[in-house]
Structure 1
Amino acid sequence: MTYQTLLVEQHDIALYVTLNRPHCRNAMSLTMVEELAQIFHELEHNQNIRALVLKGSEGHFCAGGDIKDMANARGRALQTQSSPEQEENTNPFFELNRAFGRMITQTDHLPQVVVTVLEGAVLGGGFGLACVSDVAIACASAQFGLPETGLGVIPAQIAPFVVKRIGLTQARRIALLGERFDGTEAVKLGIAHYLCNNTQQLDEQLTRVLSKIKRCAPGANRVTKSLLHQVGSAEMEALLDQAAQQFAEAVQSSEGSEGTMAFVQKRVPEWAQ
């Protein structure tokens, strides 16, 4: 398909999705949110794609929400207020913000390994996407932050995911002070996992990460990711019972058999070839 705000390509086991609005540092418009949500919906049951790589075009990941979309929403809100027949739950600001929340939740729960490549601006919504990735690769010069409170608004859909990523104490500091920091600090905080100094190193680290993903059995990765998501929300004994059942199924599956045989025969398993 052709997208207005994205570049989409598949290479081997990975789908590369590039945020492509370079004139505004890839700020996230409602159209971009809707296009990402469409792609993620299609990925939910795609067994052939094992990794999703999220990048930004021309040196920036994402500078947050699109101010023009907010202005358009303000105009629609004024129209709604002047039309008594409009339902209260059609507030355009609510719909704009909640659409992003649904999309970032989709990203968080994708069965694929989600890898973000973070350079330039990683602000607001871009910061949120970084916080729901399974693996984040950051450039040392990247600029991270939650600028919302400085604009008189709040990081409404992003904040819960930031807390889950780095903990309440650091999330308070970053959100309530509007802190800006670089890739080195992002790695220290646990937002990103790998630190690179330039574009070449970013590409090389991405290649290494994807090779490791390819070495892992796709079915086992999907079940493991789902299991990890339940920690802290499911009752522990019930979760361990579920995990034991999934382990038994994995051992007896075709992947389990192939993985065992490959280990004994000292060869690469079929899924890694």
Structure 2
Amino acid sequence: MESLPHCETLLLEKQGPILIITINRPEVRNAMSLQMVAELSTVFTQIESDLHIRAVVIRGAGGHFCAGGDIKDMAGARGQRAGAGEADPFYRLNRAFGQMIQQVNESSKVVIAVTEGAVMGGGFGLACVSDVAIAGPTAKFGMPETTLGIIPAQIAPFVVERIGLTQARRLALLGLRIDADEACKLGIVHQAASSEQDLEEMLGHAIERVRQCAPVATAETKALLHRVGHEAMSGLLDDAAEKFAEAIKGSEGTEGTMAFMQKRPPAWAGDSE
């Protein structure tokens, strides 16, 4: 198991096979700075090859998930000038966030977002690339970019993938803010908790389900799901059949079928590493 990187904007805690990332800038409602983007990217790069980590929980400190981009970084970019052959500072700022959110989206780990308070802009995008999203009773979701005279450039494609073009148009073009119940109806989150206790119980249940699922099979399944709609179906199914054959003959497939026949939990269900 690799040691976790030192971070200034994130708190990292490992609980068995689960890594909990707490966005820790409560004084600015966990607004996403360039440093935070870089630290999130570093963490996800490092854990990608760590087989001991099977899921990542992302949540925010101080009652908020993430209020969007850091205005100070935008102001700093405004004061910079691109040198000869360099990209525009605003382009670099925006694109760095897009690369990070794509990385989280494509991570082989199960990503669980626990959303409370402000879930805006970049925070909204982060919720939309999670595999499991749970909202607390205080959560407010929105794409306020157009009300600020800017555009949701990097998150819009992921929002469309999450909830479809029709609903994404309404949210983005009106700059709406919605509560947890509406976010659940739209499919932004999967569950809306009625209390803090309810939220923690939902998270605990999700983590327990992660433990029941074989880690390599889970990662392969996530990768397969991401390919749907981007490749010709016949070729995709051919490749999926090959991966199925590898899985069922592999160590996890052997253990899973044996455990089923013997009416016992599979080895990975008790994984505490």
2:63 corresponds in structure 1 to: 59
After superposition, the C-alpha distances for 1:134-172 in whole angstroms (9 at most, x for unaligned) are 000011321000010000000000000000000001000
Aligned with 2:73 (options 52, 60, 69): 69
The answer to whether the 8 A contact 1:141-1:197 is kept is no
2:240 to 240, 243, 264: 243
SS of residue in 1 equivalent to 2:62: coil
Q: How does 1:1-273 map to 2 (within 5 A)?
A: 1-77=5-81, 80=82, 86-273=83-270
Cα distance in 2, alignment partners of residues 44 and 262 from structure 1? 28
Letter of the structure 1 residue corresponding to residue 178 of structure 2: F
Q: Structure 2: how far apart are the matches of 1:213 and 1:266?
A: 19
1:4 Cα deviation from its structure 2 partner: 1.1
For the 8 Å contact 2:19–2:56, the answer to whether it is kept is yes
Structure 1 residue 13: Cα displacement: 1.1
Q: Determine the C-alpha separation between the residues in 2 that align with 1:4 and 1:154.
A: 28
**In 2: Cα distance, 1:145 partner to 1:89 partner:** 32
2:137 touches 2:196 (CA, 8 Å); kept in 1?
A: no
Q: Could you tell me whether the CA contact under 8 Å between 1:43 and 1:110 is conserved in 2?
A: no
5+ residue gaps in structure 2? none
Distance in 1, matches of 2:247 and 2:239, equals 12
Work out the CA distance in 2 between the residues paired with 1:148 and 1:208. 34
Counterparts of 2:6 and 2:227 in 1: how far apart (Å)?
A: 36
CA contact (8 A) 2:113 2:132 kept: yes
Paired positions, count: 266
SS at match of 1:73: helix
Work out whether residues 47 and 53 of structure 2, in 8 Å CA contact, stay in contact via their aligned partners in 1.
yes
User: CA separation in 2, counterparts of 1:44 and 1:266?
Assistant: 32
More displaced 10-residue stretch of structure 1: 86-95 or 262-271: 86-95
Task: Determine the C-alpha separation between the residues in 1 that align with 2:226 and 2:137.
Answer: 29
**Which AA in structure 2 matches 1:196?**
A
The Cα offsets for residues 19-45 of structure 1, whole Å up to 9 and x where unpaired, read as 000000000000000000000111221
Give a deviation string over 1:237-269, Cα, whole Å, max 9, x none. Answer: 000000000000011001001001100000000
Cα contact 1:119–1:141 (8 A) shared by 2? yes
TM-score (norm 1): 0.96
Q: TM-score, normalised by structure 2?
A: 0.96
CA drift at 1:272:
0.2
Deviation at 1:88, TM superposition (A): 4.9
CA distance in 2, matches of 1:143, 1:89: 37
The list of structure 1 runs, each at least 4 consecutive aligned residues, that deviate by more than 3 angstroms after superposition, is none
Whichever residue aligns with residue 31 of structure 2, its letter is A
Distance in 2 between the 1:267 and 1:162 partners? 40
Amino acid at match of 1:209: A
